[in-house]
Structure 1
């Protein structure tokens, strides 16, 4: 018995894979244990090193930087999704005057490093064009252009990956191209693309840390500021641990939201398949579309 891309492993291969997995896990645990041991030996977990977090001013500063990070992420995520949807539709268009410029824009912004985009928007546009872009929008627009271009390719690939028979069947029922895209292709493609979309949104969240290079007061900017304060004992490692824990928590919450949405869409799909009433309504809509298509043909 063989799989599509590889042979099913036999007993020896399974034992070898198990041994490799156990060895890799032990190595990772050993590395984590060594790091924790070194942090303990150097006194990074002593109470005096963590006294800075007891100050109310520092707590407020961390909360404000967290809110600034979430604000930049939320705006950049929404704009990236819109950018990706618009240019994916442009690339899927049958008109060359539309899909060629969309392809050039997407490939261009995918090729330019994000940090260069942010620098151009914040420093280059203000000096070369004379338009002052606030630090917040320089960061958000840079994130939108880069991640939106990546999402445009994700959307396009997700739609192209669907069987062509579904598109042809929808056209045979008399649906217009917009109806085929919105009612038939996109709902299926979104379920398949959801893990990739969430992964890219996690990248957007982590890339907000680049804002510290243009002095946007997000988490990394405040961590660098707090870690360099001599009166606090230069707590760079404790501050880094706190900031890393905040980023990990936000990424896990985002992944949990994606898993919830995926489970919900699966339940909706099963309900549609099992509920006779919903199935009957869907069949009536198909018959109505067939009738409209037949009338249009006449």
Structure 2
């Protein structure tokens, strides 16, 4: 069997690729073992460097930082989804006075790096123009503008990827465009776009770490603070590993949520077998209605 871009590997090529895979795995394991060895040799796993986690004040500090991260993520995620849905609909509008500005806004905010957006919102608008924007809203609005623009393209691409027959059938049934979008196109597109949407929300979660640059007290900000304390033996690596585990756990929870939603949507698409008697009765009703409607006496 041949692919479009390349031929499938033969027996010798498969053996060669398998050998490359084994060799690459051995190299990666060797690098990992060397890193662990150096960490042990330099005392990074000694109890003295990890005793900071036993203090209740530090546990509360990390818990507050975790909640600051989660709260910024939740608000930014909801606003990004709303922003993306609104401007995706605007880009697909038949009215140019709606589609052109929507396209300009989406392309503009997609082109600006997120960090620059956060700086503009916090230092530019808040300090230069006198607007009272705190660190939380500067971070959230920056995440919303950038990721919402990306989600707008995801939504638009998902709807455009559906077969044109869906749109034509909806218009043939007398649906308006709003009804067609909400009842026919969006439910199908959301199922296909769900993995990409969750992936973008994972990006939103990880990008909350940029808040430490404007002194928002999230996980990375507190990690830098704790790691620079000499009375705790400056455990920057240890605190970084703890923060990394927290982020990994949150991202895995999002992935589990995506898998759960995917299973739910697959179950909702399953339908039972049709009853032949019911189908026959429905066909006879359609034939009778058409004969009464078009075959009356002249």
Note whether the superposition's TM-score is higher than 0.5.
yes
Q: CA deviation at 1:117?
A: 0.5
Quick one: distance in 2 between partners of 1:122 and 1:247? 25
Deviations 1:190-227 (A, max 9, x none): 11111111111111000000000111000000000000
Quick one: distance in 1 between partners of 2:184 and 2:4? 27
Residue 90 of structure 1 is matched in structure 2 by 90
Change (3 A) 1:6 1:262: farther
Residue 294 of structure 1 is matched in structure 2 by none
Quick one: distance in 1 between partners of 2:75 and 2:198? 15
Deviations 1:94-132 (A, max 9, x none): 111111100100000011110110011011002332211
Q: CA deviation at 1:15?
A: 2.7
Quick one: distance in 2 between partners of 1:17 and 1:99? 49
Residue 237 of structure 1 is matched in structure 2 by 237
Residue 222 of structure 2 is matched in structure 1 by 222
Residue 67 of structure 1 is matched in structure 2 by 67
Quick one: distance in 2 between partners of 1:275 and 1:178? 31
Residue 182 of structure 2 is matched in structure 1 by 182
Residue 110 of structure 1 is matched in structure 2 by 110
Residue 169 of structure 1 is matched in structure 2 by 169
How many residue pairs get matched?
A: 282
Structure 1 stretches lacking a partner, 5+ long: 292-298
Residue 15 of structure 1 is matched in structure 2 by 15
Residue 195 of structure 2 is matched in structure 1 by 195
Quick one: distance in 2 between partners of 1:224 and 1:196? 32
Quick one: distance in 1 between partners of 2:39 and 2:273? 58
Quick one: distance in 2 between partners of 1:218 and 1:123? 19
Q: Does 1:262 align with 2:262?
A: yes
Q: Does 1:208 align with 2:212?
A: no
Deviations 1:148-191 (A, max 9, x none): 00000011111111111111112112222112111111111111
Residue 40 of structure 1 is matched in structure 2 by 40
Q: CA RMSD in A?
A: 2.1
Q: CA deviation at 1:252?
A: 0.6
Quick one: distance in 2 between partners of 1:198 and 1:24? 31
**SS of equivalent to 1:268:** helix
Deviations 1:57-108 (A, max 9, x none): 0000000000100000000000000000000001111111111100100000
Residue 292 of structure 2 is matched in structure 1 by none
Quick one: distance in 1 between partners of 2:39 and 2:241? 11
Q: CA deviation at 1:276?
A: 4.3
The TM-score with structure 2 as length reference comes to: 0.89
Q: Which has the larger radius of gyration?
A: 2
Change (3 A) 1:216 1:175: same
